[in-house]
Structure 1
């Protein structure tokens, strides 16, 4: 690869990173930009996914700081508890990724994107139906957040959109608080995943990503 090609790839990655970070801070979905770009330059799917998680962490942290005054409890559950659930889930998801082969992950990608897209598209309607037909307990909300943490640590693509859609199902409608909590909890999932991805020492069977 020539120096010119290397520079072009660097510029492409830099610009896609800026765009993805801005999208995540405002609404989410930045991985729909950055992840395909990483794949297009020849990075393996698992490494591209891990790199995407690490690269977007600063944007999530910046967004969490910018909207910090709006962050608050969710359906009576303390924000601290939600952060701990997300950290735990993010750690589980990151460990799962470290034991996933590239061929397995490639098969999972379309399904992960489909789930996130359907949740975003129909989350509001599903939320109205669920709230009319049954009472959503605190345990359900906390379990849902832990699962979102796993998704964020494992894949991370559109996890912010997933969180907003699921919280809407649980009856959270304040858009400022939703966005503030989303940035903070996405940052939590990304942070614990980034730490695990970067550890120099891996357990037996784990892959070295970098």
Structure 2
């Protein structure tokens, strides 16, 4: 592997670790970097999921108190629904050709960027339309999990909006549930991709190390930077990557 490619992948993974610690959006860096260095789009998506996986584990451990506050049977039911959707979404990626996946990637990146940028408004909008007795819908979580298994970008924002529609109001509990379910979904997706042989392991391993380091160092950076500035920086990265992939599609 050329030294320049290694440097690009390490820098992208490190930046993704920092971004995910601060506000999310690491996929906007890892996936395009893999494609740029010659990894086919489908394999790049699978390898990107593996690269950022340690961050989900760390997040789940960080929210273990919030997760423990949920009824165990309820948490198990939601996790099983998430795992089922993740398997379906990952399976869809397995049968997608690189050409077909390349067609939808720009739209997925753009949708994920918009979801990230307007995530708080989406959550508030959803909460305003919720009813105190709104039941948890298996269909909604299953559909969101399919998306997450297929393409992970913006998953957390969509999950928070879904929880608001369920009538949840405690943001800490919502974030805990979001992180726990995201970890479960990412774990099953990584397992499916690994068994199917989609993961490019040399790139994945080096990016996992860099992303973990970036996640660790992202905490003090998160405290030092204004939240609004970070949000717009990530949005600009997302829009920029969307534009690049739209240009590739049109070219």
Are residues 126 and 116 of structure 1, via their aligned partners in 2, closer, same or farther at CA, if it must alter by over 3 Å? Answer: farther
Aligned pairs for 1:101-120 (under 5 A) are 101-120=97-116
Question: Which range moves more in the overlay, 83-92 or 162-171?
Answer: 162-171
Question: Which range moves more in the overlay, 152-161 or 19-28?
Answer: 19-28
Aligned pairs for 1:57-206 (under 5 A) are 57-71=53-67, 72-73=69-70, 78-120=74-116, 121=118, 122-131=121-130, 136-138=134-136, 140=137, 142-199=138-195
- Tell me by how many angstroms 1:8 deviates: 2.8
SS at match of 1:149: helix
Q: Is the 8 A contact 1:19 1:30 kept in 2?
A: yes
- Tell me by how many angstroms 1:77 deviates: 7.7
- Tell me by how many angstroms 1:65 deviates: 0.8
Q: Is the 8 A contact 2:42 2:93 kept in 1?
A: yes
Alignment RMSD: 2.7
Are residues 171 and 185 of structure 1, via their aligned partners in 2, closer, same or farther at CA, if it must alter by over 3 Å? Answer: same
SS at match of 1:78: helix
What is the CA–CA distance in structure 2 between the aligned matches of 1:149 and 1:30, rounded to whole Å?
18
Residue deviations 1:5-46 (CA, integer Å, cap 9, x gap) = x22322321232233234334532211121122222222111
Report the counterpart of residue 40 of structure 2 in structure 1: 44
Greater RCO structure (CA 8 Å; 6+ sep): 2
What is the CA–CA distance in structure 2 between the aligned matches of 1:22 and 1:184, rounded to whole Å?
20
What is the CA–CA distance in structure 2 between the aligned matches of 1:30 and 1:161, rounded to whole Å?
13
TM superposition score normalised by structure 2: 0.68
What is the CA–CA distance in structure 1 between the aligned matches of 2:184 and 2:77, rounded to whole Å?
12
Unaligned runs of 5+ in 2: 201-251
TM superposition score normalised by structure 1: 0.80
What is the CA–CA distance in structure 2 between the aligned matches of 1:88 and 1:149, rounded to whole Å?
8
Q: Is the 8 A contact 2:28 2:109 kept in 1?
A: no
